[in-house]
Amino acid sequence: MLDIFDNVVKLKSVGEINCDLYNKLGIYTINDILWHIPRSYIDFGAYVKIEETQHEGLFAVRGYAVEKKSIKKKNLTIYTVTVTDGNNFMDVQIFNGRQVYQAIASGVEFVFWGRIIKTRRIVNMQLRSFVRFKEGLTMQPSYSLTAGLKSRMVAASVQESLRRLSSFHSLVPAETQKQMKLVSLPYAFQNIHFPKTKEALVLARNRLMFDELVNFSLGVLEFKAKKSVPSEIKIKDFDCSEFYKTIKFEPTNAQKRVINEIVLKIKSGATIWQLIQGDVGCGKTLVVTAIAYLICKNGYQAAIMAPTAVLANQHYENFKEIFKFLKVKVERLAGKLTATEKQRVKELLVSGEISCVVGTSALTSPAIKFKNLGLVVTDEQHKFGVRQREKLSEKGSNPHTIIMSATPIPRTLAMMLYNNIDMSIIDEAPPGRKPIKTYFVTPNYRVRIYNFMKKEIEDGRQCYIVCPFVELEEDENVTENEEIFKSVKEYAETLKTGIFSDYTVEFIHGKMVQSKKETLMQAFKRNEIQILVATTIIEVGVDVSNASIILIEGAENFGLAQLHQLRGRIGRSNLQSYCILLSGSENEGTKKRLAFVAKHTNGFEIAEFDLKTRGPGELLGVRQHGAFNFKIADPYNMELLLKAQATAKFLLQNNT
């Protein structure tokens, strides 16, 4: 039998061979793998006839192959399987998927699942997954993955974990579970991964959402308790005049106000724990740089933690540009550093020769130590858990903490989530910025969109195209149950060989090696790339002032906060910029939400609308991306959040 905190290497389905792949996803223990919640579900039992695919969207269709062919275009091979259900025909398209193509035997009945694209002649499906037909097909989980790891492998590991676990560790008291009519943890984990019915999936989600909110609330209460003690960081010199002389522009009044608010709190002797909110491009980084300068000037060290190496490196360049005139030594622990360079930075942090370090979550590693840590900053705070911030703070003697967010949170929700944390809002954009024009359109406008992008490129501008789905690497042993997604690579290749063949089109995604990502972003900044096809890796911090268009494919798959974040990648200069939300969804609620984003550019207005109208997300589609680092919980469910906080307080008071 296994314990919930045993290493995943003990699973026969993982072992030493695949352990590193699971570790890349942050999965180290049996508990981690159970909490690796499916990203979406494919309901193969809900198949329809070809004639019932009335609009573009995701469908499961039952049929068998009658003809197979392939066309090669430079680096792209398009395999086409003509399928019939006995009455009508459709073409199933597979991009660079030779093994998948070969696995679809003619005359054998399958259920094909993918995105329907209508043409005048025939129904086209861009294939994502398929199974051999049999009676009683049910929902199958689809997981976030890394290259070399497949959904069926993760599913097998989850099944083995559930079968071999000796017991489950639950924070929820038995009485609370009974009062709230919550299902047991074994039932919840079984049905969140392999739901027998939609009703069982709902019950499982409710239980696991509550457990996650209880755990989050406990972390906040414990963290806040540590911050209630007087600060041990003794600041004597509060003169920031040299800082203001160094920067090449006049800060906005909002930036100055927030800097003064934080400085006054430090002067009071309290340990600050401050949330700085503001729309994308409002200048939160300048505020943090000013406070970091003050801390470093007084002999302490500052640590800035960003969610991605791309953003960490961008922060490093900005800090270095300002600090080089202020005699503050800044280094980074992110990106393509050699082992020798990393070791040098570690040693200089311990000696105190480095005053400011910028990095990713690697800063929380036990190997990273500081001589005199006085300030901890986390950027895009929703990307980090409470425990991660706590780990970094514990490297100092109760340092000050600032958390930044370009994802506006409604004040009522922020107060509840962060237990009366101090908040500052930067509500003023830098001068000269033009409002981004946003349009919500259907796939029928695709040709017009591409022509407009051409016009912008001819005028010297650049474009982003964002795809909602995680890309998977090709596997030489693909089986009929393997999930195949249209990747950003295939999308980019299609554009390169088609309508945008005269321009440079590249793609970027999170699974690329870091050096490749950095090289691509630098080339995009230099306008050596006109169109960058990307996943949501560009969501945070990427700053290319010449980019004037962002096309968001499958906009219905994103939460409103994330759409607003993505829109913030453009409009970062005095150029007129355009955001295009492309969606074929027929859901009226979805269309209403996307239309609201198109009409409103104020992030706080969008957050309030999201709070009022947001549901728990799609059960059978791609899960809505939220503004918080939760695996399943929906903090917008106020009733559940309040009950979770009450449970957390009870547990803390009773030391359980």
Q: Domain with 114 in it: what CATH number?
A: 2.40.50.140
Say which amino acid occupies 373: L
Q: Residue 123: how many CB atoms within 10 A of its CB?
A: 20
Spacing of C-alpha 432 from chain mean position: 30
Q: Which residue has the higher pLDDT, 130 or 390?
A: 130
Confidence at residue 461, expressed as pLDDT on a 0 to 100 scale: 95
Cβ contact 291:520 at 8 Å: no
Q: Is the distance from CB of 577 to CB of 570 less than 8 angstroms?
A: yes
User: Distance between CA 367 and CA 374 in Å, rounded?
Assistant: 18
Is residue 147 in some structural domain? no
Residue 124 located in a structural domain: yes
Q: Are residues 573 and 443 located together in one domain of the fold?
A: yes
Three-class secondary structure of residue 125 per DSSP: strand
Based on the structure, what is the number of domains in the chain?
3
The answer as to whether 550 is a domain residue is yes
Residue 584 lies in a domain: yes
Please say if the pLDDT value at position 300 is more than 80.
yes
User: Which helix (H) or strand (E) covers residue 66, if one does?
Assistant: strand 57-73
Residues 491 and 445 in one domain: yes
Kindly state the tokens that stand for 42: 């494919």
CATH, residue 394? 3.40.50.300
Last residue of a domain, one of 600, 629, 650: 600
Q: What is the DSSP pairing of strand 57-73 with strand 76-84?
A: antiparallel
The rounded distance, in Å, linking the Cα atoms of 605 and 550 is: 21
Q: Is there a single domain that holds both residue 346 and residue 379? A: yes
In sequence order, the 6+-apart residues with CB closer than 8 A to the CB of 648 are: 214, 217, 218, 221
Residues 468 and 414 in one domain: no
- 377/506 same-domain check: no
Best mean pLDDT range from 57-66, 278-287, 451-460, 555-564: 451-460
Same domain flag for 270 and 384:
yes
Lowest-pLDDT choice from 184-198, 202-216, 554-568: 554-568
Token pair 């700053």 is found at 543
Task: Answer yes or no: is pLDDT of 616 > 50.
Answer: no
Domain-ending residue, one of 579, 600, 621: 600
pLDDT digits (tens, 9 = 90+) for 157-198: 999 999 999 888 888 998 999 999 999 999 999 999 999 888
Q: How far is CA 485 from the centre of its chain?
A: 18
Instruction: Classify residue 356: in a domain, yes or no.
Output: yes
Query: Is 83 within the bounds of a domain?
Result: yes
Are 283 and 420 within one domain? yes
Domain that holds residue 322: 225-426
Task: Name the nearest CA neighbour of 403 among 373, 423, 387.
Answer: 423
- Residues 284 and 404 sit within 8 Å (Cβ to Cβ): yes
Instruction: Find where tokens 């492309």 sit.
Output: 582
pLDDT category at 469 given cuts 50, 70, 90 is low
Question: What's the rounded Cα separation, in Å, for the pair 529 and 495?
Answer: 13
Strands 356-359, 330-333: pairing is parallel
Q: Do 450 and 503 sit in the same domain of this protein?
A: yes
Last residue of a domain, one of 426, 459, 489: 426
One domain, residues 588 and 491:
yes
* Shared domain check, 446 and 422: no
The answer to whether residue 655 sits within a structural domain is no
CA angle 320, 539, 511 (to 5 degrees): 90
Instruction: Give 214-255 pLDDT, tens digit per residue.
Output: 988 887 777 667 666 777 888 999 998 999 999 878 888 999
Higher-confidence residue: 144 or 207? 207
Range from 40-44, 204-208, 507-511, 560-564 that averages highest in pLDDT: 204-208
Question: Do 267 and 406 belong together in one domain?
Answer: yes
Residues 6+ apart with CB under 8 A from 642: 416
User: What is the distance, to the nearest Å, from the Cα of residue 609 to the centroid of all Cα atoms in its chain?
Assistant: 21
Pull the structure tokens for residue 310: 């791309």
Q: Which percentage of the chain shows pLDDT scores above 90?
A: 38
| Residue 88 within a domain | yes
> Once rounded to an integer, what is the mean pLDDT over residues 629-654?
84
Pairing of strands 40-43, 400-405: unpaired
Do 409 and 518 belong to one domain? Answer: no
Span 266-278, mean pLDDT? Answer: 85
C-alpha span between 256 and 290 (Å, rounded): 10
pLDDT at 477: 28
Question: Span 518-544, mean pLDDT?
Answer: 84
Name the region of 455 (left: φ>0; alpha: ψ -120 to 50; beta: rest).
Answer: alpha
**Number of alpha carbons in the 13 Å side-chain half-sphere of residue 118:** 13
